[in-house]
Amino acid sequence: MEEKKIKVDQKEKSVKKVKFRIITHGNCADGFCSAYIFKKYFYKVLGLKKDSKEIIDIPVIGAGPQEIQGDKIELTKYDIVLDLPRPKRDVFFWCDHHSSNKPDEGEVLPENYYWKIHPSNASLMLDLAKENGLKITKELSEFKKVSEIMDGALYSKKDINTCFYPLKSYDNPSPLLRIHLLGDMFHTRDHNLNGVIFKTMLNNKLAKTPIDSKEIEKLNPLMFHLSQLEGLKQWREVFDTYVYFDKDSKCVVQDDRKVKRKKGVFDRFYPYIKFKSSAYNLSVREDDKITKMGIGSNIFHRERLKIDIGKLCSDVAKKFGDGAGGGHREVGGLAIDSRNTDEAIEFILSFMKENN
């Protein structure tokens, strides 16, 4: 990663007046951590000093992939886009790790554009920083490992019990549990609250890693985690009443249109515990004439994964919607017009069946 020489407009007498913004994946721990790592370790790219006020004051905006794909955010040449699809407009810096955002074969990316399949975008960014001279300390190495486990779904069964079910004690939480406590602060689906949390935690002097931050501890992340665990429990109880397993596709189908009242928070790993022979999970929920779908793969039997889910999500979004979809090889999401929901479900299940 080379340091970029910033060309300042004639009206701007110093780099300090350049209006940088960080646009990162909202409602997502990896998106938050990517913004954190950029602010903490990428100051040289901006021509600024480490932990300077100029770095601290850079605003951070949480956004969804569909907002970037649909060009719904007016981006500028000074924007920094992290853990999101490649913008259609030129920006100052872009870094992503999702398989669905892979550049064209043989394409040479512009300066300060980075893409690589990786379990975690924040971890990928630390690799880039290492290439530019950053020493990976024990704390950073520990953070890299747990960020990859969390965003890449590289959990063991013991990890699942630790992070998704209640514990007797939360004294001295492990690094993996600490990053979960952090991530659960963004799973409220309250856009305004997430924005305030992003601003509160990222517009202060930053610790070496997000999981070592005293500022974050002040917000009592354990409270959010315990609420999340109760929501997961409620969801599992309702889930058992309407979910079904499609044997031909080896897919567990959770269609929220089949229940009048939904409760709790989606547990993306429970379907594989309940249906041990499953390979995939498809969740469907309708919201204001838009259907959002999530597709995942069985983390306990990765050998059953025969397709690129991120690409499938992208293809389905283009076929039945406006193209808002993508993700990793192992997991992805999409949004389509609700009128096409049944046809899209049939298409997905057929594709899985054909590739089993």
| Share of residues in the chain with pLDDT > 90 (%) | 76
Could you report the per-residue pLDDT of 44-73, keeping only the tens digit for each?
Answer: 898 888 889 999 999 999 999 989 998 899
Q: Where are the beta strands (DSSP E) in 170-270?
A: 244-246, 251-255
Burial profile 275-301: b = 16 or more Cβ within 10 angstroms, e = fewer = beebbbbbbbbeeeebbbbbbbbbbee
Residues constituting the chain:
356
Could you report the per-residue pLDDT of 201-257, keeping only the tens digit for each?
Answer: 898 889 999 999 988 888 899 999 999 999 999 999 998 889 999 999 999 999 999
pLDDT score at 12: 43
Q: How far apart are CA 82 and CA 59, in angstroms?
A: 13
Name the nearest CA neighbour of 210 among 35, 11, 23.
35
Q: For residue 230, what are the contacts with CB-CB under 8 A and spacing of at least 6?
A: 264
Q: How far apart are CA 312 and CA 345, in angstroms?
A: 12
**Structural domains in the chain?**
15-224 (no CATH), 241-354 (3.10.310.30)
CB neighbours of residue 337 within 10 Å? 13
pLDDT beyond 80 at 150: yes
pTM above 0.85, yes or no: yes
Could you report the per-residue pLDDT of 7-33, keeping only the tens digit for each?
Answer: 434 344 344 566 899 999 998 999 999
Q: For residue 133, what are the contacts with CB-CB under 8 A and spacing of at least 6?
A: none
pLDDT beyond 50 at 290: yes
pLDDT score at 56: 92
